[in-house]
Amino acid sequence: MGRRIGTLGLVNYKDHPTDNRYKVFNFYSEAEADLFEKRLSEWNIWYEKDVSDLEKKGETVYLFAVPQKEFSRAQKANFEVSANYRKPLIPNKILRYSLVLFFFAILALGIIGYVKNS
C-alpha cells in the first residue's frame, strides 16, 4: 500500500500541512487510489484529489484531502483498500503453513506437559 507516513510511519495519512480541518491520505499506486476514490464517492464523502510527481524518485503520489468530520468513514475505505492490496507477511505458502503447524505443536506440547504435571 505504498509508503507509510505519519508520526511512526504506521499509517498512510496525516494532518493537512496548512489546514488542520483535513486529513490527507496518500497512495503510490493508481489501482489503490482508484478504489479509495470509488469508495469515497459511493459513501458520499467530500474530498479533494491531487496527483503529485516526486521529482527525486520519479514516483507518482495520489493525495486525497478528506474533512476531519468524515475521517472515520474515510478510514474504513482506507482499511478496505489496504485489505485488498496487502501482501502476506510470509509469501511462501509452505513456509507459512509450516510455521502455523509448528506453533500448534508447541502449544499442544505445552498443554500436554501442564496436564501431566497437574
Q: Are 26 and 5 in contact (CB under 8 A)?
A: yes
Looking only at the bridges linking them, the beta strands covering 48-54 and 13-15 are unpaired
C-alpha cell at 39: 469508495
Q: What's the rounded Cα separation, in Å, for the pair 109 and 114?
A: 9
pLDDT, average across residues 26-36: 92
pLDDT, average across residues 30-50: 94
In this structure, the answer to whether residues 22 and 64 fall within a common structural domain is yes
pLDDT at 8: 60
For 62-113, write each residue's pLDDT tens digit. 999 999 999 999 999 999 998 898 888 889 999 999 999 999 999 999 999 9
In this structure, the answer to whether residues 81 and 63 fall within a common structural domain is yes
Residue 7: phi and psi, rounded to 5, are -60, -50
User: Mean pLDDT score of the chain, rounded to an integer?
Assistant: 89
Residue-number span of the structural domain to which 39 is assigned: 1-86
pLDDT at 93: 92
Identify how many contiguous H helices and E strands the chain contains and give both numbers.
3, 4
In this structure, the answer to whether residues 54 and 30 fall within a common structural domain is yes
Q: Is it the case that residue 3 has pLDDT exceeding 70?
A: no
pLDDT at 77: 94
Neighbours of 45 (CB within 10 A): 18
In this structure, the answer to whether residues 75 and 103 fall within a common structural domain is no
Q: Is it the case that residue 2 has pLDDT exceeding 80?
A: no
CATH number at residue 53: 3.30.70.2750
In this structure, the answer to whether residues 44 and 70 fall within a common structural domain is yes
In this structure, the answer to whether residues 67 and 9 fall within a common structural domain is yes
Query: What domain count does the chain have?
Result: 2
For 3-7, 32-36, 73-77, 109-113, which range has the lowest pLDDT when averaged over its residues?
3-7
Instruction: Select the more confidently predicted residue: 97 or 57.
Output: 97
